[in-house]
Amino acid sequence: MAGPVNHLAGIGMTSPRTRARMVDRLREQGIRSPLVLDAMANVPRHLFLEEGLQHRAYEDTPLPIGEGQTISSPYTVAQSCELASRGRPLEIVLEIGGGCGYQAAVLARLARKVVSIERIARLVGRARRTLRELRVNNVLVRNADGSLGYPAGAPYDAIVVAAAMPYIPDALKAQLKPGGRLVAPVGSGDVQTMMVIEAREKGYTEREVEAVRFVPLLPGVA
């Protein structure tokens, strides 16, 4: 990301007012958690995008971040954060598919620590740089294949998966604390189902939320 953090502050499409309108829209779309709404209001989404796209940052749409990947729409990010956190502050969260680092920055306001796994090295470099510029220092970004989670940081209060998984591996569920939640788009077609898995003292509960569209989870690092 070129230039100092506030180089576009004050320009209409990226102003705090534009972000506040995005938050109003999220409320209308059904996001309830004050913690999540507050986090969305405070993370400058445009700074995670390249300059040519920054004016579109607060539209409710996914946008390209290079390497054939996308930043999820504001609603998708807010919804998965709300489902994962249930509106409570969390201790440690795992994000699989960190991309540009935007969702990690939102999660960083909901949790004491975030571990974000991203398979594409160039995106990892960029996410680290942007998070550093924004002085977000409770996110650890790792360049790795997160298909089976990140056991070294487990157990987690929440696991948020930002790329579509054909199914949810048992090894991933096993990284949840009791009471912890896993939120993931599940399916192998263009449209998947957002699933919420909750770990109980014994076993897991599963719930289908709604149809969603995510880029696929891919194997290996790149």
In 3D, which of 111, 105, 91, 117 has the Cα closest to residue 172?
A: 117
Residues lying near ligand SAH in the complex (CB under 6 A) are found at 65, 69-72, 96-100, 102-103, 117-120, 123, 145-147, 162-163, 215, 217-218
How many other CB atoms sit within 10 Å of the CB of residue 84? 27
Q: Which of 15, 33, 72, 188 is catalytic?
A: 72
132 to 22, 122, 136, 141, 147: CA distances (angstroms): 24, 15, 6, 11, 26
Q: Which residue has the tokens 């795992």?
A: 94
Give residue 162's identity as a one-letter amino acid code. A
The nearer residue to ligand SAH, 14 or 76, going by C-beta atoms, is 76
17's CB contacts (< 8 A; 6+ apart) are none
The nearer residue to ligand SAH, 186 or 200, going by C-beta atoms, is 186
Phi, psi dihedrals of residue 67, rounded to the nearest 5°: 60, 25
Kindly state the smallest distance separating residue 39's Cβ from ligand SAH, in Å.
13
Kindly state the smallest distance separating residue 206's Cβ from ligand SAH, in Å.
21
The nearer residue to ligand SAH, 12 or 68, going by C-beta atoms, is 68
The nearer residue to ligand SAH, 5 or 179, going by C-beta atoms, is 5
Torsional sign, CA 202, 208, 209, 214: positive
Kindly state the smallest distance separating residue 128's Cβ from ligand SAH, in Å.
13
- Please name the residue ranges forming H helices in the chain: 16-28, 34-42, 74-85, 102-107, 121-133, 170-173
The nearer residue to ligand SAH, 29 or 205, going by C-beta atoms, is 29
Q: Which two tokens stand for residue 93?
A: 């969260």
Kindly state the smallest distance separating residue 70's Cβ from ligand SAH, in Å.
6
Kindly state the smallest distance separating residue 28's Cβ from ligand SAH, in Å.
22
How many other CB atoms sit within 10 Å of the CB of residue 158? 27
Q: Is-catalytic flag, 72?
A: yes
Residues annotated catalytic, as ranges: 72
